[in-house]
Chains A and B, each alone.
Chain A
Amino acid sequence: MYSEKFTESIKAVEAAREKNIAYEPVRMTAQEKDDLLKKYHPDYKAEEFEELKIGPNKGEKVPTELAAMLQAHARISADDVDLSKPDYDVDVLVIGGGGAGSSAAIEANEAGADVMIVTKLRIGDANTMMAEGGIQAADKENDSPAIHFVDAFGGGHFAAKRELLSELVCNAPEAIAWLSDLGVEFDKDAEGNMITTHGGGTSRKRMHAAKDYSGAEIMRTLRDEVLNRGIPVVDFTSAVELILDENGKAAGAVLMNMETKELLVAKAKTVVIATGGAGRMHYQGFPTSNHYGATADGLVLGYRAGAKLLYADTLQYHPTGAAYPEQIFGALVTEKVRSLGAKLVNAKGEVFMHPLETRDVSAASIIRECNDRGNGVETGNGLGLWLDTPMIEAIGGEGTIEKRIPAMMRMFGKYGIDIRKEPILVYPTLHYQNGGLDINPDCMTTGVENLYVAGEAVGGIHGRNRLMGNSLLDIIVFGRIAGQSAAAKCKETTVGALTLGHIAEYEKEIADAGIETDKISPMLLPKYEKNNIM
């Protein structure tokens, strides 16, 4: 329910609706986009970044909050556990129970490896579960993996590792087929053709969806498959430190029961980090669309053990986080809302940009419209802009919203806002970690042998910005590759004596660099208290 203070602005939006639906805004030129990003995108705020003083990326800048975690003390010291008596001894240890971890575990199991998942919350408590809009794959006649490649490479500012991006686009149709075969219900027409739409920055309609529960539908199916296969899932247990062997290869992890704080030793021939993103780090004070456990743990674990980061200085701020009501502040409003025809409209009822620019450009444009041009709507929680959802019903016909984006209708409906009839208020929210650990196309890190990474913890697949629908895709494609690679590598791996020697070495680096900190990492969970509630 909107209070009276919004009435005037809503009237302006309604009055202009018919005209705005017909209006075709032009897309920005490359130069306009560059200028906009440099001035308004949070990634370009120099004072929010800090140079790393130690580790494989010494001298490079990362967000201040991440630097604090990367250069913090370990949660344990080597004396806290007895490595000669492992509590678990497996072929493949998968850290993380989201889409990437589950895909990796299924493939490792398929390859005959003894695989185990550890996850600090439950299997499925992951950003995968919350992905709404869809998953890209070039499987239509007018499309090809090459066109998908160009869209993603350009959208990511020509920074993606091309050998990773080619894996992503060439394995995309197979990923959809694999999911369909597991029973994932994609939106199809009566003949079986996939119902696909645009996402920001796509040049073909290749966004596959399962209503606006795309990630949830994928995640619950993968979880069901993991359980059907009898793959052990050790839940409410977090990896707090990697274990290496005497030859410097990854060989397991020290685990901590999140409830009892008991420490456990998991020995493994290969390790897959699939720990996901970092929204709960609340970079630059932004709210987030991420799940509770998104705290960059995998980056910290890998970095301390010697793995390199790539593009850790670039984050994705989703242009449309909920700006009102405050109970859902920062929650994701799927890009699919714009794919279906809703445009962004300012307080005066004006369309100020093409609704399907890439996410970084859209976010920067919204920030400019609100903070610089003074065309934002005061929400009580900062500024926001209108996303004119009734346009969807006008364009697609009555019932389109209920059929295609039921989760959005429900989310706002709980607060008395009927998105079929009323527009909604949005502002950018911290959504995705573009950067992460550097890997080869087989998912092994470039720095630590037998350490694999998949999903949001990887850096380099998308370059410096990710297109909608390429994340659900990458967790499946690279999750599967990681599981297959890690299982194959087991067969030729003999684990040497286990060691946690890298902890003391890292502590020495901290001391030698003159870093004074009382922080410990990985963070595991954010701490929300009375005056710190996001």
Chain B
Amino acid sequence: MENMVNIFLFGKKYEVPDNLTIMRAMEYAGYQLVRGCGCRNGFCGACATIYRIKGDTELKTCLACQTKVEDNMYIATLPFFPLVKQVYDINKVSPTEQIMMQLYPEIYACIGCNACTKSCTQELNVMQYIAYAQRGEYEKCAEESFDCVMCGVCSSRCPAGISHPQVAMLARRLNGKYLAPKCDHLENRVQEIKDGTFKELIEALMQKPIEEMKELYNTREIEK
């Protein structure tokens, strides 16, 4: 027999099995989700959710697809949050401090309350990565923010109006494009292909009878 718990979806009470995630509990209760449901596996950030356990003063945040229901859980989903995303040309920006000042000057209004970090559904140190962004340390900002699913909960709690996920997105692109070391073997291979180095080899494979392809495959050497 399943153990049942009471949850409150947007204030309305439902009785659901205690082994369900919040997302599954909503479906169990009869919701056909359109908003607030994406990958269902913790990667897309569609199902940001705010909840409070009755009698507890602390407001908690989570991804609905990754969190089990609890008894007396008051749940409100946050399927959309108006983040500010500034538009820029990745080929025309450079990884200097100025770019953050131009695009996201509000990060310098951070009051250090740490509400972003406390609310992060991925348990990232959000305030720290914003601090890195303020100082133009984009490599560190990129690493610290890497697991961000851009659910927007941090921004919903920010008194300074910062759109943390978008700041981090910019930092990661700057790092990936401009700061990470260049990859020589990749550039070389792209050039070799342009020069037609492998053309004959590939053309031979295109013509080869299936039996010969099988032989080639089944006897191929596998790198240790």
Let me know if A125 and B46 touch, CB within 8 A.
yes
A182 touches B90 (CB 8 A): yes
Closest A residue, CB atoms, query B221: A203
Task: Report the nearest B residue to A181, measured CB to CB.
Answer: B177
Name the CB-closest residue of B to A293: B38
Distance (whole angstroms) from the CB of A358 to the closest CB of chain B: 11
Interface positions, chain A 192-240, Cβ under 8 Å from B, are 192-194, 198, 203-205, 211, 213, 215-217, 220-221, 224-225, 227-228, 230, 236
Structural contact, B42 and A221, CB atoms closer than 8 A:
no
Q: How far is the CA of A38 from the CA of B169 in the complex (A)?
A: 46
Which of B66, B147, B176, B220 contacts A183 (CB under 8 A)?
B176
Against A, the Cβ 8 Å flags (1 = close, 0 = not) of B119-131 are: 0001100000000
Cα A140 to Cα B149 with chains together (Å) = 31
- Docked-complex contact B198 and A145, CB < 8 angstroms: yes
Q: Is A332 an interface residue (CB 8 A)?
A: yes
Bound Cα distance A139, B191 (Å): 11
Please indicate the chain A residues that have their CB under 8 angstroms from the CB of B28 in the complex: 529-530, 533
8 A Cβ contacts from B190-211 to A: 190, 193, 198, 201-202, 205-206, 210
Among residues of A, the one whose C-beta sits closest to the C-beta of B172 is A185
**Bound complex: CA A109 to CA B43 (Å):** 28
Q: Name the contact of A185 in the complex, choosing from B38, B42, B85, B180 (C-beta under 8 A).
A: B180
CB distance B41 to A153 under 8 Å?
no
Q: Which of B4-12, B19-27, B109-117, B156-164 contacts A (4 or more CB under 8 A)?
A: B19-27
A51: Cβ under 8 A from any B Cβ? no
Report the nearest B residue to A411, measured CB to CB.
B42
Question: In the complex the two chains form, what is the Cα distance from A188 to B176 in whole Å?
Answer: 10
Q: Which of A147-169 contact B (CB under 8 A)?
A: 147, 149-151, 153-154, 158, 162-163, 166, 169
Residue B68, interface by CB 8 Å: yes
- Which B residues lie within 8 Å of A188 (CB)? 180-181, 183
Tell me if B44 and A291 are in contact (CB < 8 A): yes
- Decide yes or no whether A327 CB sits under 8 A from chain B: yes
Are B190 and A173 in contact, CB atoms less than 8 angstroms apart? yes
User: CB within 8 A of A292: which of B33, B66, B169, B182?
Assistant: B33
Flag if B202 contacts A198 (CB, 8 Å): no
The answer to whether B185 touches A194 (Cβ under 8 A) is yes
Point out the residues of chain A lying under 8 angstroms from B181, CB to CB.
188, 190-192
- Cα distance A221–B171 in the bound complex, in angstroms: 11
Q: Is A177 an interface residue (CB 8 A)?
A: yes
Whether the pair A327, B175 counts as a contact (CB closer than 8 A) is no
- Shortest B192–chain A CB gap in Å is 9
B-side interface mostly:
loop
- In the complex, A19 has a CB within 8 A of chain B: no
Within 8 A of A (CB), among B46-74: 46, 66-68
Within 8 Å by CB of A258, from B34, B38, B182, B223, lies B34
From B176, B177, B218, name the one whose CB has the most chain A CB atoms within 10 angstroms: B176
A146–B39 CB distance below 8 A? no
A30 to chain B, nearest CB (A): 5
With A162-B206, A183-B173, A410-B147 as given contacts, are A327 and B68 in contact (CB-CB < 8 Å)?
yes
A4→B24 CA distance, assembly (Å): 26
Given A138-B189, A177-B187, A407-B42, CB of A150 within 8 Å of CB of B214: no
- CB-CB nearest in chain A for B216: A150
Question: How far is the CB of B176 from the nearest CB of chain A, in Å?
Answer: 4
Instruction: Please encode chain A, from 171 to 184, with 1 for each CB lying within 8 Å of some chain B CB and 0 for all others.
Output: 00110110011111
The listed residue (B30, B147, B172, B213) touching A154 by CB distance below 8 A is B213
Q: A292-B38, A525-B34 are in contact. Are A192 and B43 (CB under 8 A)?
A: no
A256 to chain B, nearest CB (A): 12
- Partner pick for B41 among A176, A326, A332, CB 8 A cutoff: A332
User: Does any Cβ of B come within 8 Å of A121's Cβ?
Assistant: yes
Considering the complex, give the chain B residue whose CB is closest to the CB of A325: B19
Q: Shortest distance in angstroms between B219's beta carbon and chain A's nearest beta carbon?
A: 10
Check A149/B202 contact, CB under 8 A, given A173-B190, A194-B183, A220-B150. Answer: yes
Residue contact B32 to A121, C-beta cutoff 8 Å: no
In the bound complex, what is the Cα–Cα distance between A227 and B184 (angstroms)?
Answer: 30
Beta-carbon contact of A203 and B222 below 8 Å: yes
Point out the residues of chain A lying under 8 angstroms from B149, CB to CB.
216
Given contacts A125-B46, A139-B185, contact A292 B40 (CB under 8 A): yes
Q: Are A185 and B142 in contact (CB under 8 A)?
A: yes
Nearest-Cβ distance from residue B49 to partner chain A, whole angstroms: 14
Question: From B37, which residue of chain A is reached at the shortest CB distance?
Answer: A292
Are B38 and A125 closer than 8 Å at their CB atoms? Answer: yes
Q: Which of B44, B68, B210 has the most CB of A within 10 A?
A: B44
A527 touches B32 (CB 8 A): yes
| Cβ–Cβ contact A529 & B193, under 8 A | no
Chain A neighbourhood of B90, CB < 8 A:
182-183, 225, 228
Q: In the docked arrangement, what's the CA distance between A236 and B217, Å?
A: 45
Nearest CB in chain B: distance from A291 CB, A: 4
Q: B209 → chain A, closest Cβ, in Å?
A: 10
The reply to whether A122 and B38 contact each other, CB–CB distance below 8 Å, is: yes
CA distance A149 to B34 in the complex (A): 40
> How far, in angstroms, from A151 to B164 measured CA to CA in the complex?
42
Nearest chain B CB to A356 CB, angstrom units? 9
A475 to chain B, nearest CB (A): 15
Say yes or no for A289: interface residue by CB 8 A criterion. Answer: yes
Cβ contact within 8 Å between B183 and A144: no
For residue A130, CB closer than 8 A to chain B, the reply is yes
Chain B contacts of A129 at CB under 8 A? 38-39, 43-44
A-B contact pairs, 30 of them (CB 8 A): A29-B218, A122-B38, A129-B43, A145-B193, A146-B202, A154-B214, A158-B217, A163-B206, A173-B190, A174-B190, A177-B190, A183-B172, A183-B173, A185-B146, A186-B183, A192-B182, A211-B146, A213-B43, A213-B146, A213-B147, A216-B43, A216-B149, A228-B88, A289-B41, A292-B33, A292-B38, A327-B20, A410-B42, A529-B28, A533-B24
Known: A224-B173, A327-B21. 4 other contacts (CB 8 A): A144-B198, A154-B214, A180-B183, A183-B176
* B-to-A contact residues, CB < 8 Å: 19-21, 24, 27-28, 30, 32-35, 37-44, 46, 66-68, 85, 87-90, 122-123, 142, 146-147, 149-150, 169, 172-177, 180-187, 189-190, 193, 198, 201-202, 205-206, 210, 213-214, 216-218, 220-223
